[in-house]
Structure 1
């Protein structure tokens, strides 16, 4: 076998090896791409489930907080002789409006027991953003009623000082 013939066979062998390596690299790249997309979906589903659970828990806590704040405000207003005042009527209207808002938010919130397995990453992302938006609204209402309870506690302190 002459040197030029040998070079042809070596060139052909390295070309075949290169083609096989390129094809296997493309296949492995595609498999890795699919795997990373499935992991991304899994991460988003887990994050969404966590956010939904937090929102559901926050809804329940907010409902209890509003009920407590309403009773507190009524007791303080009664003690101060302002139970039939315009301020209390406005308070009652706000409580009713906030309770209606919570019911609407709760009805629009994603279910905690749903699996979300059939959703694309894009849909999962948009649902996650929606749940975070709900959580922000819940947090705003919680801050409002926390502040009301703190104000009532201050008023109670002043009532005790006047009486005692």
Structure 2
């Protein structure tokens, strides 16, 4: 039994339509992926800006806390205090460098390719990790200072109590 000529033409047309729709779907998937990456990047940027805004004040508070403890214990000019201040100044300059690398809120990323967006997303993630480590370091410093304050208060209280 012979296949009618129209079947081959219909098959050819179906193949062409399938190829075109597959190409369009592939292109659309790439556009959706880029859109998802842009949205994720803008969310991460917003989180970073919100995280960085109070960080400077927290670092300053940690410095004042350490300086006050050093003043009470007589260690303002001591080697450990000078080392702590040098490390603080280095961390502060790193913080300012990180803060300067933050994108502006108006950044839209519309012209960036998916690979570029992915790279920027990873860079922002690493920036957040570094900023969180910096915050944790100085929060731990403040906790140590608070413990030192408490022990100094206890020692002062023991001196005041009559024997």
TM-score (norm 2): 0.89
Alpha carbon RMSD of aligned pairs, Å?
A: 1.5
Paired residues in the alignment total 157
Paired with 2:101 and 2:87, the residues of 1 have a C-alpha distance of 21
Does the CA contact (< 8 Å) of 1:48 and 1:127 recur in 2? yes
Tell me the alpha carbon deviations over residues 98-132 of structure 1, each in whole angstroms, 9 at most, x when there is no partner.
11111112223333320000000011111111111
1:38 aligns with 2:35: no
1:57 aligns with 2:50: yes
Which stretch has the larger CA shift, 114-123 or 72-81? 72-81
1:82 aligns with 2:78: no
1:67 aligns with 2:60: yes
Consecutive aligned runs of 4 or more in structure 1 exceeding 6 Å deviation: none
Pick the aligned partner of 2:95 from 97, 102, 121: 102
- Structure 1 runs not aligned, ≥5 long: none
What is the DSSP-based 3-state SS (H/G/I as helix, E as strand, rest coil) of the residue aligned with 1:162?
A: helix
1:156 is displaced (CA, Å) by: 1.0
Paired with 1:37 and 1:136, the residues of 2 have a C-alpha distance of 29
- Structure 2 runs not aligned, ≥5 long: 158-163
Paired with 1:121 and 1:73, the residues of 2 have a C-alpha distance of 46
> Which structure has the larger Rg?
1
1:96 is displaced (CA, Å) by: 1.5
Does the CA contact (< 8 Å) of 1:110 and 1:131 recur in 2? no
